[in-house]
Amino acid sequence: MSERHHLERQGEGGLYETLSRSNLVTTKGWYAAAGVLFALTAAAVGVFLYMMATGLGVTGLSRPVMWGTMIILFVFWIGLSHSGTLISAILRITQAGWRAPVLRGAEAMTVFALMVGGLFPLMHLGRNWRFYYMIPYPNERMLWPNFRSPLLWDMVAISTYLTGSILFLYFGMIPDLAAARDHATGWRKKLYTFLAAGFRGSHSEWRRYHVASTLFAVLIIPVAVSVHSIVSWDFAMAMVPGWHSTIFAPYFVAGAIYSGIAGVITVMAFLRRVFRLEHFLTVRHFDNLGKLLLTMTLIWGYFYFSEFLTTWYSRLPEDWELISSYGTHYLPLFLVMLTCNFLIPLPALCLSKVRRSIPAMFAVSLVVNVGMFAERALIVVPSLARRNDPSVWLGYFPTWVEISYIVGSVSMFALLYVLFSKLLPVMAISDIKEHLFRTTDRSIGAATVPSVAQEEEGEGE
């Protein structure tokens, strides 16, 4: 209700100011947050340089567990990146009326999670300084990378997705950058003038913008789906018991969207609180995102169950050894996953009371991502620790080096987001404005006329 009359109370300038509060006022709190996050990120980078100088022996890795925390983090962050662009694209295509305030934050999340996640495959290389061997560049030995290797598909897919997501984020931002350009002064004016690429808001510009953004949204969906399928094939293509499974691609995509939606909810709750966007990010958005999350909980649970059941029923010795290790050595991890991914979110999200309470949704979204981290760990580690030959079986536990990467990756993601919120419009101003115009009353002289689009929108409230 408050949303409906909001536009009337303040003019367009006021709307811009409310939505861009993050860009306009730099508080001490911002400096403190950015400083702490920067310090943590820099510390993790320092640890990485130490690892690069000494050798991968400083990790907890061994034979047979050749992949560990860094690969878990890779899958986790790439998964987290999946919501953003995908949700945004789907909401744009389906013309969901409530999408506007969610778009930008979700798209930015994709870009930053990809930036963080994409670092880990490079970090975990034995000789990081030779990473460019994977790039097909012309060289005197006529050596090419091996296109049969899923790792190479991975590199191609992730760089495509990162490029696509950055363009998608930037493209959607152009009208907002133009609005920012019109209001800003000083160095910001120069920055926004450059970034807005001369957008003036003429009829033809808007028409092209709408066509292009629809095209973009349609094209980015297959890319997003393929990326996480390919990440799953890093595992599924290998003949490792527990990895070699046809269900992995859809299962990973579902898991990625699941953790991604939870991530979007976490970020939205933060933005709402910190930049006082209570008028725009309303309970209704959290309710809707909560319903999406509930759907994904069910889909994830279904995939997990069907994968588990076939292995349990057939009891092939190699797979069975793996599954039984879930009940013994890896029981804590398994219980964390089951509780956080299914037993807590399923009943909680069924209750509209929970979905409509922002602190509760914030808590549920964090719980889901803890569970998803455990799920990724459970995919990567036990399958390797219980390989075909029992004589090499061994446990795995991350060392302080790998734990600092976990902390560092979270802080790097947060740092990128904090910097982004200071420099660029975090809310899709033009989309919100469009939405408000459709749903609010117009004043013509002294008369108040309801806009026609209001009824088509079919608002439930």
Partner 1 sequence: MKHKWAMVIDMDRCTGCGACVVACVAENNTPTAGEEEAGKGRLMQWLRVSRFWKKEGEDTRAIFVPTPCMHCEKAPCEIVCPVYATYHDEDDQVNAMVYNRCIGTRYCANNCPYSVRVFNWWNHQWEKPLDEQLNPDLSVRSRGVMEKCTYCIQRIRRGKETALKEGRKIRDGEVVPACAQTCPPGAILFGDLLDPDSAVSRMVKDPRLFKLMEHLGTEPKTAYLKKQKGPGR
Other Cβ atoms less than 10 A from the Cβ of 5: the count is 11
**Given the complex with partner 1, which of 143 and 211 has the nearer CB atom?**
143
ω into 64 cis (within 30 of 0): yes
Q: How far is the CB of 126 from partner 1 (least distance, A)?
A: 2
Nearer to partner 1, 56 or 277 (CB): 56
310 or 388, CB closer to partner 1? 388
Q: What residue ranges bind partner 1 (CB under 8 A)?
A: 54-57, 60-67, 121, 124-127, 130-131, 133-134, 143-146, 148-152, 155, 234, 237-240, 384, 387-392, 394
Nearest residue to 247 via CA among 304, 314, 322: 304
Closest listed residue to residue 244, CA positions, set 325, 186, 322: 322
Q: Which is nearer to partner 1, 192 or 233 (CB)?
A: 233
State the Cα torsion 381-387-391-394 to the nearest 10°: 0
Which residue type occupies 240?
V
Whole-angstrom distance, CA of residue 298 vs CA of residue 341: 10
Nearer Cβ to partner 1, position 350 or 394? 394
- Shortest CB 456 distance to partner 1, Å: 52
Residue 217 near residue 88 (C-beta atoms within 8 A): yes
Shortest distance in whole angstroms from residue 384 CB to partner 1: 6
CB nearer to partner 1: pick between 33 and 238:
238
Torsion from C-alpha of 284, 285, 290, 296, nearest 10 degrees: 140
Q: Select from 158, 149, 72, 157 the least CA-distant residue to 383.
A: 72
- Amino acid (1-letter code) at residue 99: R
Q: CA nearest 427: which of 80, 15, 93?
A: 15
DSSP assignment, residue 339? Answer: I
What is the closest distance, in whole angstroms, from the C-beta atom of residue 2 to partner 1 in the complex? 54
Nearest approach in angstroms of CB 332 to partner 1 is 21
Helix (H) or strand (E) holding 200: none
CB nearer to partner 1: give 103 or 380. Answer: 380
- The tally of CA atoms less than 13 A away on the side-chain side of residue 325 is 22
Nearer to partner 1, 318 or 457 (CB): 318
Rounded to a whole number of angstroms, the minimum distance from the CB of residue 328 to partner 1 is 19
Q: What is the DSSP string of 207-243?
A: HHHHHHHHHHHHHHHHHHHHHHHHHHHHHHTS--TTT
Cβ 150 to partner 1 shortest distance, Å = 7
Q: How far is the CB of 111 from partner 1 (least distance, A)?
A: 25
